[in-house]
Amino acid sequence: MQIHQNNFIRNATFFLGLLVCLFFFGLNITSFSLIYFPGDLGDARFNNYLLEHAHQFFCGNLDSFWNAPFMFPEKNIIAFSDNLLGSAPFYSIFRIFGQDRETSFQFWFLLMICLNYCSCYFLLKYLFKNPIAAILGAIVYSCSLALQNQIGHAQTIPRFAIPIALWMGLLFIENLNPNYFFAMIFFVVFQIYCGIYLGFMLIIPVAFLVLSSFFVKRNLYLTKIKEFKWCRSILISLLLNSLILMPLIFPYIKRAELSGFYSYHEIVQNIPTIKSYFFSSPGTLFWVKLEHIADEYPSFWDHRLFPGGLASISILIFFVVVIYRVYSKKNSANTIILLFTCFFTFLFFIRINEFSFYKLIFNIPGFGSMRALQRIINLELIFYAIAVAFVFNLFFNTMKRWNQFSLFILVMCVIIIDNFSFANTTHRVEKSISQKRINNLICKMKNISKDGIVSYEPDSMTSYSHEYQLDAMLASQSLSLKCLNGYSATSPEGFSFYWNNPNEESRNVWINLKELPLKKINIIH
């Protein structure tokens, strides 16, 4: 009876934490009626386009994934941006069950929050063997205040592979089982499929995790390295995961040969500073004084990385306690390894004036393609989550069960208040606004033949040009048409004129460059 009661309480608290994430973060953005989707009429809708494009490809309605029918006839156009392939099957679930494109995007967003919470919970439960401490950390990981300025970039929302990769890494370190090594690398690869930025960034803490474990368990490594079967398994794991990754990476390699990479000088201002981690999103209950402390930064909105007061204090306590235990020789190997992994990850993604250790890893293949390095916070939140679970596990271990539960409820309320944002200040837009704009265009385009090419050239533009480009992209997608219009992270040579001013003059620049037959162009105003 006691066992069943304990299981019920454990399950109830797990689902309570999940409901907190959905209610105070997910539904706070979408609303219970699903009126809004996260982000704006720009990047959010572009990512919605990518998810729908992948879904149509999975269903066999498109001949090529990479040659999407926008910025037509540019080839390999998807490689100008992220692609969301890894998380697109979850979006497809809702499309298969009859939801429309925008509503499926909303459900996908809510499902990603659930998966982020669950994956972090299982990592923390493995680390601390305490379910309620794990729940507190998982809430921080899934709905931190720091995410408010990240959700406009939907490719950063699927982060559930990050805790699993670290979990598999810690299991590998226990006895160097090659199966866990394969799983660790696989989930790094899977995160790259979900979002290239976070996938490449994940390589750094995973590398430090393994390197740190070598120093802690060097005798075990030296023994294993002498075993041919073990070395062969490790090499096979690397080879198989490389083969899994190549279909995704090869189109980007081809694209990089044409467009090149960013220079370090171009991206250095996007590396977070110490101030960035105390720069709060607007609309909070307690952190109003932190909302403008770095307004002078270029792209200051991307530097709003403050993860809340409790998480910030917890990570400081985590460092102090673990370092003390290192000197007292009371620490577990996992805690020491995580300390070094956390420290070096922050060290390599922080800037003091113009100096940053990131320059040492900038030339690693793939890293030169990344510009918005503030997105590292999406990964670093796992360390804040570990710190929160670590700190409160210390308290829980000294308390009786019902006292633990009382403290758990209190701390969960503190986390909610600490990370709360008023709904009207969150980064979101009404779904109906987007649908109305698209439907108006669909009415104008419905008689265009399937081999025709759309060029949407509005008579006037009262907002950003890329919003109109996306209207055309999404309307064309609804009708399975090709369009000259397009939006992405960057654009092909010669397209920027049309990107900024879709009109006859800029259109002619593009179609002459690409030698398109004028008779196939259907101009919509």
Asked if residue 414 and residue 328 are part of one domain, the reply reads yes
Looking at per-residue confidence, does 360 or 331 come out higher?
360
Note the pLDDT of residue 330: 67
Domain end: 408, 426, 444, which one?
426
User: Span 154-165, mean pLDDT?
Assistant: 94
- Whole-number pLDDT of residue 265: 84
Calculate what percentage of the chain has a pLDDT beyond 70.
97
Task: Note whether 404 and 457 are same-domain residues.
Answer: no
What total number of domains does the chain contain? 2
One domain, residues 285 and 400: yes
Q: Is residue 332 part of a domain?
A: yes
Residue 236 — pLDDT band, cuts 50, 70, 90?
very high
Query: Quick one: pLDDT band at residue 518, thresholds 50, 70, 90?
Result: confident
Per-residue pLDDT tens over the stretch 352-385: 988 888 888 888 877 877 888 899 999 999 999 9
> Is residue 212 within 8 Å of residue 341, measured between CB atoms?
yes
Of 394, 426, 458, the last residue of a domain is 426
Quickly tell me which residue has 């990603």 as its tokens: 112
**Structural domain ending residue among the three candidates 426, 444, 476:** 426
Take residue 446 and report the two structure tokens written for it: 């419905």
Reported as a pLDDT band with limits 50, 70 and 90, residue 89 is very high
Q: What is the pLDDT averaged over residues 263-286? A: 90
Residue 486 has what pLDDT?
Answer: 92
Mean pLDDT of 109-136: 95
State yes or no: pLDDT of 516 exceeds 90. Answer: no
Does 296 lie in the same domain as 223? yes
- CB-based burial, 323-354: b 16+ in 10 Å, e otherwise: eeeeeeeebeebbbbbbbbbbbbbebbbbeee
Q: Is residue 68 part of a domain?
A: no
Task: State pLDDT tens for residues 27-71.
Answer: 999 999 999 999 898 899 999 999 999 999 999 999 899 999 999
Return the pLDDT at 311. Answer: 95
- CA distance linking residue 384 with residue 286, whole number of Å: 19
Mean pLDDT across 202-210: 94
Residue 519, pLDDT > 80, answer: no
Report residue 372 as tokens: 């918005």
Is 448 or 53 the better-scoring residue by pLDDT? 53
Q: Is the pLDDT of residue 405 over 90?
A: no
Q: Answer yes or no: do 127 and 10 share one domain.
A: yes
The answer to the question of residue 136 being in a domain is: yes
pLDDT at 493: 85
- pLDDT category, 304, cuts 50, 70, 90? very high
338 touches 205 (CB < 8 A): no
Between 83-92, 300-309, 365-374, 447-456, the lowest mean confidence (pLDDT) is in 365-374
124 Cβ contact list (under 8 Å, min separation 6): 133, 134, 137, 138, 163, 385, 386, 389
Q: For residue 319, what pLDDT is reported?
A: 92
Residue 221 within a domain: yes
Residue 481 pLDDT grade (very low, low, confident, very high; cuts 50, 70, 90): very high
Neighbours of 15 (CB within 10 A): 10
In a domain, residue 78? The reply is no
SS3 at position 137:
helix
Tokens at 460, concatenated: 């006037």
454 three-state secondary structure: strand
Q: Say which range, 109-123, 180-194, 218-232, has the weakest mean pLDDT.
A: 218-232
Ranges 2-11, 303-312, 408-417, 458-467: which has the least confidence: 2-11
500 lies in the same domain as 416 = no
Residue 43 lies in a domain: no
Q: How far is CA 6 from the centre of its chain?
A: 35
User: Do 165 and 20 belong together in one domain?
Assistant: yes
Residue 259's pLDDT band, with cuts at 50, 70 and 90, is low
468 plus 337 within the same structural domain: no
Task: Tell whether 381 and 507 lie within a shared domain.
Answer: no
Q: Are residues 357 and 483 in the same domain?
A: no
One domain, residues 236 and 349: yes
284 in helix, strand or coil?
strand
Whether residues 265 and 292 share a domain: the answer is yes
**pLDDT (tens digit, 9 = 90+) per residue, 7-30?**
666 678 899 999 999 999 999 999
Sequence-ordered list of residues with C-beta below 8 angstroms from that of 468, at least 6 positions apart, any chain: 456, 458, 461, 485, 502
The answer as to whether 86 is a domain residue is: no
The answer to whether residue 65 sits within a structural domain is: no
Return the pLDDT at 94.
96
Q: What is the mean pLDDT of residues 140-169?
A: 93
Q: What is the pLDDT of residue 490?
A: 83
Across residues 136-141, what is the average pLDDT?
96
* Amino acid code (one letter) for 457: E
Q: Is the pLDDT of residue 256 over 80?
A: no
**Domain encompassing residue 513:** 430-524
pLDDT at 263: 80
User: Token pair for residue 360?
Assistant: 């040492």
